[in-house]
Chain A
């Protein structure tokens, strides 16, 4: 089974190499099928992993990780430089792997319409998948950092070449924010690894058994440095300004990945590294994180209300919704953190679907300006229905997956941070406002002459992802245990660290 995890993570990169070397320039049409096969194989492998995952490993084990592979990459330990290769997942990791591989199949499908240099496009997309999966499976700080950086160049190229609008500006902004964050993260990681007692180590499992000293940097500085990197990715107010630009200017599939996978890396890192390895410091930071989370929720929601660009609207709603994740993490309770993790999963699917639908609308109408759109439900009934389902899930309608996650977060954090939680609940009201208002302006109202002949979502590679995402959203909403069972086994270990 350990090999299956390695396969899941690295198969897309291998496929990217094959694509680069084997597919000639003049038969670029083959690229999409190869990419679909690669992402599909990776997804299938991750489904196998989820079924093989032992959800009840008895008592909370000293090492909660499964499917581990470990080896030495650079062995110069005598001189004080050794890097190991260590992959493995717990319940949290395996859920994120499943989400990632699933969304990449979706992203590949909805990229079937890409006509500009498709070969290069799919090479970058597959490289991006390995980077994302690596982050969710690394059990070593240096490996984690390595995969964190791997994802940069593909994302930069995907936005700046295949994007729209001010694509080069947005792509560079994304890169600079991320690199600046990871600069702080690297210093934090190095300080953490070197000041581990009794032995310096970068292995996350070993670090759980070590005491992290403050010989190099005070613990609150280490925490702060690493937090900056994750807060940029999440994104958290006031470090969120790259997100609306990047999401808006990226091609549709890449927006799906940005929202569904890359943002999750921030929340995942907080749970996996900050809370697990520095639990005491996390408690000191709790109130600050909760406050910033509440600000992110409200501020993001207010800005969302004011957006006139459909895609920008969805992008800003992400800032608001990821605030719930931060709130759940800040409360440091079992329920709240499970809620945060579940919110990452549901936000990935819901916002992915929203971006997909915005892409469909833009593809047909060539505008994203809400003021120009209107009455689309008459000509695009399927698109309108699915978009509204996604919107309702986004605002937390019961029986859809967004509701469960937000409920968990609120229940878990209400006792501890009452005011921020109330603020976050107000965010729900605002989101109900912007979603329904958007739906009204875009889909309802009188039939528009200009949009009388736009076709509905009629390509199979658009309909299959739509159906798949709706299915997941409804299924998790009706039976949250589908995801929560697995997630929870990962949370137990983290909760135990908090004592």
Chain B
């Protein structure tokens, strides 16, 4: 038991830091509240340190009677979430002024949501998955409405209602799986009953029940992944919630949802079982629909954050191409699955960079309307450059990491014989080029007087540079990220 708690240490460290912040918030004077972010960052650092020493001695563990896994997949996503949360906290230091005396709660909630995501990536039991899912969701409902203005409240209510429905749908799908397998464990390391075992040993008699279950699970998780047709909340929440929260949702929450989908479908349902082709085809169709709807809707947006919302729906469609192309070949490589993970990692840098740039600009101009972005490059060259690099990466143009991410995932799609899906995906790139490059162009417009200087705060500048550097460095030298992604999904094969 104690050993299992040790394995949960990275999550616990984050939660403890969150608790400390809430307590310290009671005694810290109001103007010093910002310093609580330091506690949050320390908590994340402690979590990372704990993880590093766990890797050295306890990798590949399955603990809490197979409810949780400490495999390369969990490790990869734990570091990803720590990085995302750290970047969001640093970038939000300027933004939190808008929260008045609630800065401490904001930091604490971000940490709790992060802990939930870390749990989600490590869970391999339906109950644990559901608890982790709720932990992230509920904190994010609160975060979405943190500004307490009209738009924010509307976004939070919308997010909450749809989120509640999606939770119910997930539960329903899980109930079917439990009915078939008689257990909630996805895999059993002790040779006992498990969902993966039941499906592998099953025959066409349980096929219809499995189909229903996978549709419900995809619908429920699809809400978190923000894929069409479960995406309705995305643009409203991205527009209405505080920008750092939108950044967290668009990267962290989405990555966690894809992690859990990889776990449930790749590890649970299995790629080579008799339902393998079914769920791959389901994701292939969802991929085509998501990217097309997302891109076409993004064309008409006039607000940058709504545009990024629709863009994130389209990007989720790209991730799904990897899911549809999953196959475990004889030598145990899963090009599609590692493609999803690699894409998520590059997307983390890219989309965080984009949101932070939008935040840096919005902090100064007070507007997120695209028409107000005209000539921004003259007033805030750094933010404009970073946003341009990130938009290039989202389009999938060199010299950015997004180029390799798309190349990798299309490569996987072609190998899996999904030529039609790759075709739809590359044509969608054309549509996306229109609005991504249009926004980049808008910032470099104008030849008159530059207007007032909009230099962002030093911390914001640092995070912006870090994100853009990540996007560019992983273009020149992507191999560490690709290898990490391949190691991560190797756990499933």
Interface residues of A (CB under 8 A from B): 74-76, 78-81, 83, 116-117, 120, 142, 146, 149-150, 152-153, 156-157, 160-161, 168, 171-172, 175-176, 179-180, 183-184, 186-187, 190-191, 194, 216-217
Known A-B contacts A74-B404, A80-B411, A180-B427; A190 and B422 likewise in contact (beta carbons under 8 Å) = yes
- B441 and A168 contacting across the interface, CB-CB below 8 Å: yes
- B338 and A187 contacting across the interface, CB-CB below 8 Å: no
- B447 and A116 contacting across the interface, CB-CB below 8 Å: yes
Say which residue of B392, B410, B445, B478 sits within 8 Å of A153 (CB atoms). B392
Complex Cα distance A221/B2, Å?
Answer: 62
Complex Cα distance A76/B404, Å?
Answer: 12
Say which residue of B398, B408, B430 sits within 8 Å of A149 (CB atoms). B398
Interface residues of B (CB under 8 A from A): 329, 331, 333, 335, 338, 392, 397-399, 403-404, 407-408, 410-412, 414-415, 417, 419, 422-423, 426-427, 429-430, 433-434, 437-438, 440-441, 444-445, 447, 478-479, 482-483, 486
Contacts of A171 in B (CB 8 A): 441
Complex Cα distance A184/B423, Å?
Answer: 7
Whole-angstrom distance between the Cβ of B396 and the nearest chain A Cβ: 8
Contacts of B438 in A (CB 8 A): 172
- A186 and B426 contacting across the interface, CB-CB below 8 Å: yes
Contacts of A183 in B (CB 8 A): 426-427, 429-430
Q: List 15 A-B contacts (CB under 8 A).
A: A74-B482, A80-B411, A81-B408, A120-B444, A150-B397, A150-B398, A153-B392, A161-B444, A172-B437, A175-B437, A176-B430, A183-B427, A187-B410, A187-B419, A194-B414
- B333 and A78 contacting across the interface, CB-CB below 8 Å: yes
- A79 and B486 contacting across the interface, CB-CB below 8 Å: yes
- B486 and A187 contacting across the interface, CB-CB below 8 Å: no
Known A-B contacts A149-B397, A179-B429, A190-B410; A76 and B437 likewise in contact (beta carbons under 8 Å) = no
Contacts of A179 in B (CB 8 A): 429-430, 433
Complex Cα distance A116/B446, Å?
Answer: 10
Complex Cα distance A180/B427, Å?
Answer: 7
Which 9 residue pairs spanning A and B have beta carbons closest together?
A183-B426, A79-B333, A190-B414, A179-B430, A180-B430, A179-B433, A76-B482, A79-B486, A80-B335
- B483 and A76 contacting across the interface, CB-CB below 8 Å: yes
Given contacts A171-B441, A194-B414, 17 further A-B contacts (CB under 8 A): A74-B404, A78-B333, A80-B411, A83-B404, A146-B403, A153-B397, A157-B441, A160-B441, A161-B441, A172-B437, A176-B430, A180-B427, A183-B430, A187-B423, A190-B411, A190-B422, A216-B414
In the complex, which residue of chain B has the Cβ closest to the Cβ of A190?
A: B414
Whole-angstrom distance between the Cβ of B399 and the nearest chain A Cβ: 7
Whole-angstrom distance between the Cβ of A400 and the nearest chain B Cβ: 39
Complex Cα distance A80/B407, Å?
Answer: 12
Contacts of B331 in A (CB 8 A): 78
- A191 and B398 contacting across the interface, CB-CB below 8 Å: no
In the complex, which residue of chain B has the Cβ closest to the Cβ of A171?
A: B441
Known A-B contacts A146-B398, A156-B437; A79 and B392 likewise in contact (beta carbons under 8 Å) = no
Say which residue of A146, A153, A161, A180 sits within 8 Å of B437 (CB atoms). A153
- B419 and A81 contacting across the interface, CB-CB below 8 Å: no
Known A-B contacts A117-B447, A156-B437, A179-B433; A74 and B478 likewise in contact (beta carbons under 8 Å) = yes
Contacts of A79 in B (CB 8 A): 333, 335, 338, 482, 486
Say which residue of B411, B417, B437, B483 sits within 8 Å of A216 (CB atoms). B417
Complex Cα distance A284/B408, Å?
Answer: 32
- B434 and A157 contacting across the interface, CB-CB below 8 Å: no
- A186 and B437 contacting across the interface, CB-CB below 8 Å: no
In the complex, which residue of chain B has the Cβ closest to the Cβ of A184?
A: B426
Q: Max chain A CB contacts within 10 Å: which of B329, B407, B410, B417?
A: B407
In the complex, which residue of chain A has the Cβ closest to the Cβ of B438?
A: A172
- A172 and B335 contacting across the interface, CB-CB below 8 Å: no
Complex Cα distance A486/B482, Å?
Answer: 42
In the complex, which residue of chain A has the Cβ closest to the Cβ of B428?
A: A183
Say which residue of B411, B422, B445 sits within 8 Å of A81 (CB atoms). B411
Contacts of B415 in A (CB 8 A): 80, 194
Whole-angstrom distance between the Cβ of B348 and the nearest chain A Cβ: 19
Known A-B contacts A75-B479, A142-B407, A194-B414; A80 and B419 likewise in contact (beta carbons under 8 Å) = no
Contacts of A74 in B (CB 8 A): 404, 478-479, 482
- A152 and B430 contacting across the interface, CB-CB below 8 Å: no
Whole-angstrom distance between the Cβ of A19 and the nearest chain B Cβ: 14
Contacts of B408 in A (CB 8 A): 81
Contacts of B426 in A (CB 8 A): 183-184, 186-187
Contacts of A187 in B (CB 8 A): 410, 414, 419, 422-423, 426
Contacts of B419 in A (CB 8 A): 187, 191, 216-217
Contacts of A116 in B (CB 8 A): 447
Complex Cα distance A187/B426, Å?
Answer: 8
Whole-angstrom distance between the Cβ of A124 and the nearest chain B Cβ: 10
Complex Cα distance A80/B339, Å?
Answer: 11
Whole-angstrom distance between the Cβ of A156 and the nearest chain B Cβ: 6
Complex Cα distance A176/B429, Å?
Answer: 10
Whole-angstrom distance between the Cβ of A355 and the nearest chain B Cβ: 23
Complex Cα distance A183/B407, Å?
Answer: 11
- A152 and B338 contacting across the interface, CB-CB below 8 Å: no
- A81 and B335 contacting across the interface, CB-CB below 8 Å: yes
Contacts of A76 in B (CB 8 A): 479, 482-483, 486
Q: Max chain A CB contacts within 10 Å: which of B329, B333, B430?
A: B430
Whole-angstrom distance between the Cβ of A126 and the nearest chain B Cβ: 14
Whole-angstrom distance between the Cβ of B197 and the nearest chain A Cβ: 27
In the complex, which residue of chain A has the Cβ closest to the Cβ of B418?
A: A216
- B486 and A191 contacting across the interface, CB-CB below 8 Å: no
Complex Cα distance A152/B440, Å?
Answer: 13
Whole-angstrom distance between the Cβ of B323 and the nearest chain A Cβ: 17
Complex Cα distance A150/B444, Å?
Answer: 19
- B482 and A81 contacting across the interface, CB-CB below 8 Å: yes
In the complex, which residue of chain A has the Cβ closest to the Cβ of B388?
A: A153
Whole-angstrom distance between the Cβ of B421 and the nearest chain A Cβ: 11
Complex Cα distance A157/B440, Å?
Answer: 9
- A149 and B403 contacting across the interface, CB-CB below 8 Å: yes
Contacts of B397 in A (CB 8 A): 149-150, 152-153
Complex Cα distance A83/B430, Å?
Answer: 23
Contacts of B447 in A (CB 8 A): 116-117
In the complex, which residue of chain B has the Cβ closest to the Cβ of A225?
A: B423
Contacts of A194 in B (CB 8 A): 414-415
Contacts of A175 in B (CB 8 A): 433-434, 437
Complex Cα distance A273/B445, Å?
Answer: 38
In the complex, which residue of chain B has the Cβ closest to the Cβ of A185?
A: B426
Whole-angstrom distance between the Cβ of A41 and the nearest chain B Cβ: 22
Known A-B contacts A150-B399, A179-B430, A191-B419; A157 and B444 likewise in contact (beta carbons under 8 Å) = yes
Contacts of B333 in A (CB 8 A): 78-80
Contacts of B411 in A (CB 8 A): 80-81, 190
- A176 and B338 contacting across the interface, CB-CB below 8 Å: no
Complex Cα distance A142/B408, Å?
Answer: 11
Complex Cα distance A496/B99, Å?
Answer: 73
Contacts of A75 in B (CB 8 A): 479
In the complex, which residue of chain B has the Cβ closest to the Cβ of A177?
A: B430
Whole-angstrom distance between the Cβ of B412 and the nearest chain A Cβ: 8
Contacts of A217 in B (CB 8 A): 419
Complex Cα distance A216/B447, Å?
Answer: 50
Complex Cα distance A183/B478, Å?
Answer: 23
Complex Cα distance A149/B393, Å?
Answer: 12
